[in-house]
Amino acid sequence: MVTQKDRHSGFFSKMEIATAGERLRYQNRKLSHLIAYAYEKAPAVRKKLDKSKLKPGDLTTVKDLEKLPITEKADLIGLQKKNPPFGGFNGVPTGELGRIFVSPGPIYEPGEMVYEDRRWAQALYAGGFRAGDLCQITFNFHLVPFGVMLDSSLRILGCRSIPAGVGNTELQVRIMKDLKVTGFLGTPSFLFSIVQKAKEMGMNPQKDLALKTAFVAAEMLPESLRESLESELRGLMVRQSYGTANIGCLGFECTRKNGMHVPDDCIVEIVDPRTGKQCAPGETGEVVGTCFNKVYPLIRFGSGDLSYLSDEPCPCGRTSPRLLKIVGRVDQMTKVKGMFIHPGLVDTVAAKFDEICAYRVVVTRDGHQDRMTFQAELDRPCPEPEKLSGAVKKVIQEILRVRGEVQFLPKGSLPQGAKKIEDQRVWE
Ligand SMILES: [Zn+2]
């Protein structure tokens, strides 16, 4: 008889249930070691500190990271051109690396001889993967690091893997059925294609496939898609994870689907991109990661994504903070009266009113004050413009958290393909 695995309870390590104080002390200690090491071994890190007139002893806590500028992906490309191949971010000599990955850019990334990063393994465990699972990895195995990282992480958990790579949907279905695969790793849309293909091939996915867990990443997971997958394959648990190719795992869902827990072996800051200061829980800013990887010590690396953290307790028992939602990209946002405005939020305002057919937000400067105007075209005559304008203002205040003016324009007056946020402020 096959015993059912308990995929819902248990923890990957004791640190998952540590108090906030214990976790902070652990991370401060790891950070101090990493900074001291990287200052000696990675020229780019030494330069970064020297430029800010800092010594390793000045950076011993998570809060101290605010003293350092954020390194963005574009900086990495520039640094690599100047100082090939790694821009000085390798913490061991090139001859001692296990692998070299190539991410879009191209960015060359040093890979360690022995994979020790436990963050993806922690994520997989939280998503229900257990020792003995047979797992089909459908992420890319060439050039980029993700497939190889996941393969090594499954090994840490005692799972077996099939390095299937992307595409070949029909073959993927065949493998999944023949080998009674229990774990899937890939994009949610590819899992959906696999289930559809299985049906086209005359299978009953519920009966013919043995999938129990799906670890999805690299694209958005709409709740409707999760529900559809979990109902097509009853008993399947679909959980998502978040990270970047350069810096690895920065968040993962637990069984409670309650936002994405930050792994213990990295520091995730939410940072105001204009000031570099850390935001309070609930405030939106850029996701900035620091991981404790000596081979590739990226310190304060900007993901370019916007999110916010919650430190409320999660019913799963894990005590780490959670990234609640990726709300957009840094390069699309504008700060108005101290608040970040994102095109996605402007869309949310407009979607509340049927009669609005085109819209944008214009930001101007009136003396020393920002002024925000929501311009909208209406697709029908409005009998009470004052009333509608009042209602729109109220929604703007609720969603954008900034007071704004409302201006209705005749149909066709907004330029075609206009930016959602038109920043017309002139700074001297
Ligand atoms: Zn949880």
Query: What is the Å distance from ligand 1's center to 313 Cα?
Result: 8
Instruction: For residue range 209-220, list pLDDT tens digits in order.
Output: 999 999 999 888
Query: What is the Å distance from ligand 1's center to 288 Cα?
Result: 21
Query: What is the Å distance from ligand 1's center to 400 Cα?
Result: 28
Give the pLDDT band of residue 410 (cuts 50, 70, 90).
confident
- For 99, phi then psi, to 5°, come to -145, 160
Instruction: For residue range 307-332, list pLDDT tens digits in order.
Output: 999 999 999 999 999 999 888 788 77
Report the percent of the chain where pLDDT is more than 70: 99
How high is the pLDDT of residue 1?
52
Query: What is the Å distance from ligand 1's center to 318 Cα?
Result: 5
Query: What is the Å distance from ligand 1's center to 158 Cα?
Result: 22
Q: Does pLDDT of 377 surpass 60? A: yes
Q: What is the torsional sign of CA 262, 102, 68, 118? A: positive
Query: What is the Å distance from ligand 1's center to 353 Cα?
Result: 36
Query: What is the Å distance from ligand 1's center to 126 Cα?
Result: 8
Instruction: For residue range 225-239, list pLDDT tens digits in order.
Output: 999 999 999 999 999
Query: What is the Å distance from ligand 1's center to 251 Cα?
Result: 11
Mean pLDDT, to the nearest integer, of 385-412? 92
For 346, the 3-state DSSP assignment is helix
Higher pLDDT, 274 or 403: 403
Instruction: For residue range 25-55, list pLDDT tens digits in order.
Output: 999 999 999 999 999 999 999 999 999 999 9
Query: What is the Å distance from ligand 1's center to 255 Cα?
Result: 7
Buried b (16+ CB within 10 A) or exposed e, 31-47: bbebbebbbebbbbbee
Query: What is the Å distance from ligand 1's center to 34 Cα?
Result: 28
Query: What is the Å distance from ligand 1's center to 238 Cα?
Result: 14
Answer whether 303's CB lies under 8 Å from 289's CB.
Answer: yes
Could you tell me which residues come within 8 angstroms of residue 3 by beta carbon, excluding any fewer than 6 positions away?
Answer: none
**Listed residue (307, 242, 249) closest to 273, CA to CA:** 307
Query: What is the Å distance from ligand 1's center to 316 Cα?
Result: 4
Mean pLDDT, to the nearest integer, of 251-259? 96
Cis amide linkage into residue 43, ω under 30° from 0: no
Query: What is the Å distance from ligand 1's center to 412 Cα?
Result: 48
Instruction: For residue range 139-164, list pLDDT tens digits in order.
Output: 999 999 999 999 999 999 999 999 99
In this structure, of 252-261, 282-291, 327-336, 359-368, the range with the lowest mean pLDDT score is: 327-336
Query: What is the Å distance from ligand 1's center to 71 Cα?
Result: 30
Query: What is the Å distance from ligand 1's center to 212 Cα?
Result: 19
Q: Indicate the average pLDDT of the chain.
A: 93
Query: What is the Å distance from ligand 1's center to 256 Cα?
Result: 6
Higher pLDDT, 50 or 365: 50
How high is the pLDDT of residue 2?
56
Q: Does pLDDT of 277 surpass 70? A: yes
Can you list the alpha helix ranges (DSSP code H) found in 146-287? 146-157, 169-178, 188-200, 205-208, 223-232
Mean pLDDT, to the nearest integer, of 55-74? 95
Query: What is the Å distance from ligand 1's center to 127 Cα?
Result: 10
Query: What is the Å distance from ligand 1's center to 317 Cα?
Result: 6
How high is the pLDDT of residue 244?
86
Query: What is the Å distance from ligand 1's center to 82 Cα?
Result: 43
Query: What is the Å distance from ligand 1's center to 252 Cα?
Result: 9
Mean pLDDT, to the nearest integer, of 114-136? 97
Pairing of strands 107-111, 134-137: unpaired
Query: What is the Å distance from ligand 1's center to 414 Cα?
Result: 45
Query: What is the Å distance from ligand 1's center to 274 Cα?
Result: 31
Can you list the alpha helix ranges (DSSP code H) found in 52-187? 73-82, 119-126, 146-157, 169-178
Report the percent of the chain where pLDDT is more than 90: 78
Give the pLDDT band of residue 380 (cuts 50, 70, 90).
confident
Q: Does pLDDT of 81 surpass 70? A: yes
Whole-angstrom distance between the N-terminal and C-terminal Cα of the chain?
Answer: 76
Query: What is the Å distance from ligand 1's center to 306 Cα?
Result: 21
d(CA 170, CA 176): 10
Instruction: For residue range 88-113, list pLDDT tens digits in order.
Output: 999 999 999 999 999 888 899 999 99
Query: What is the Å distance from ligand 1's center to 283 Cα?
Result: 20
Query: What is the Å distance from ligand 1's center to 311 Cα?
Result: 11
Most confident of 123-127, 358-362, 409-413: 123-127
Mean pLDDT, to the nearest integer, of 268-275? 91
Query: What is the Å distance from ligand 1's center to 254 Cα?
Result: 5
Q: Does pLDDT of 333 surpass 80? A: no
Query: What is the Å distance from ligand 1's center to 70 Cα?
Result: 29
Answer whether 251's CB lies under 8 Å from 323's CB.
Answer: yes
Query: What is the Å distance from ligand 1's center to 115 Cα?
Result: 26
Query: What is the Å distance from ligand 1's center to 301 Cα?
Result: 25
